[in-house]
Amino acid sequence: MTALTVAGLTLREAFRRRVVWALLVLTVALLALSGWGFSKLIGLDTELGTMTSGEARLVASVLLNLIMFGFSLIAAIGTAFLAGPTLAGEVESGQALAVLARPVRRSAVLLGKWLGLVAFGSGYVVLAGLAQILVVRAAVGYWPPAPAGGLALLAAQTVVLLTLALLLSSVVSPMASGIIAVGLFGATWVAGVVGGIGGALGNEGVERVGTVSRVVLPTDGLWRGAMNAFQDPIALVQMGPGEAGFPFLSDGPLTVAYLAWAAVWIAVVWGLTAMSFSRRDI
């Protein structure tokens, strides 16, 4: 009951503070630009002549993943900077005093905040991503192999990052929590690219950088799973073995073990946040 009330309040804050409208404008602009770009793909002349349908699907896969990355970046930054003020900001401003003096458990308030942010972040990536897939279909006729799974993984990536941002905001200032969360998100993505290059070059040490970073923070791992669901299955074959480290194509789908790890990771970080928040002096 408390959790649902607080979740509703969190969503209402996102609407009232015009976060939703800002994202909507940004997303519509991105969708329009990508639609225009994709429509130019048809009949595109290259040095080698008009693209084959296979080449067009490869380019569509890469571009779709690139734009999806843009959406996931917007969702990541948006939720990280929403999650920060949620706990630390409300404690700092004194807004939390009157709420937490009510007959509520702090873990229920935290759950409410988390659910609200999950609904907001996941809702955004799923709706924006779906709109993008429809735009691509209308422009070039490309339909990804597993759109639902891909969007779910994008949403999971957002959930991982906002859970981390909540943990950080329970121990450091709101601004610092947003910056650290987004910084770690970016660092993990770069580590994943470095690992991919290491794999392409056959260097196990460098490849391990990506593997370890994907375990420590599962955002990049989930993102790679999402890319795999969006890209054309034969895209990688077409790219050729020399391009295996390309950051906007994924080598393979996620394993069940990795998905389980991501769920455990979210649960552990959430538990740590609840413990830290319930012990904190307000």
Assess contact for 111 and 3: CB atoms under 8 A. Answer: yes
- Close Cβ partners of 208 (under 8 Å, ≥ 6 residues apart): 195, 198
Closest distance between other proteins and the C-beta of residue 6, in Å? 8
Which residue lies nearer to other proteins by CB, 116 or 247?
116
Residues 6+ apart with CB under 8 A from 199: 206, 207, 210, 244, 245, 251
Enumerate the H helices of 85-105 as residue ranges. 90-93, 95-100
Site for other proteins in 61-120 (CB under 8 A): 93-95, 97-105
Helix (H) or strand (E) holding 32: helix 19-39
Query: Should residue 173 be labelled a site residue for other proteins when binding is judged by CB under 8 A?
Result: no
Lookup result for tokens 């873990």: 107
Position among 2, 173, 211, 238 found at the interface with other proteins (CB under 8 A) = 2
Q: Which of 1, 48, 256, 257 binds other proteins (CB under 8 A)?
A: 1
Do 108 and 2 meet the contact criterion of CB atoms below 8 Å apart?
yes
Residue 76 amino acid letter: A
CA distance 203 to 89: 45
Structure tokens at 141: 């006729």
CB of 268 to other proteins, least distance (A): 23
d(CA 25, CA 68): 16
**Minimum distance between the CB of residue 83 and other proteins, rounded to whole angstroms?**
17
* Identity of the residue, 48 or 101, whose beta carbon is nearer to other proteins in the bound complex: 101
Q: Is 17 an interacting residue with respect to other proteins (CB under 8 A)? A: yes
d(CA 234, CA 249) in angstroms, rounded, equals 11
Judged by beta carbon, residue 107 or residue 238, the one nearer other proteins is 107
CB 209 within 8 A of CB 192: no
Q: Cβ 166 to other proteins, closest distance in Å? A: 18
Q: What is the nearest approach in angstroms of other proteins to the Cβ of residue 87?
A: 14
- Count of chain residues binding other proteins (CB under 8 A): 23
Give me the least distance between CB of 272 and other proteins, in Å please: 18
What is the smallest separation between the CB atom of 182 and other proteins, expressed in angstroms? 24
Q: Which is nearer to other proteins, 2 or 211 (CB)?
A: 2
Nearer to other proteins, 85 or 198 (CB): 85
* 282 forms part of the interface with other proteins (CB under 8 A): yes
User: Strand, helix or coil at 142?
Assistant: coil
Select 49 or 94, whichever has its Cβ closest to other proteins.
94
Chain residues binding other proteins by CB under 8 A are 1-2, 5, 9, 12-13, 16-17, 93-95, 97-105, 279, 281-282
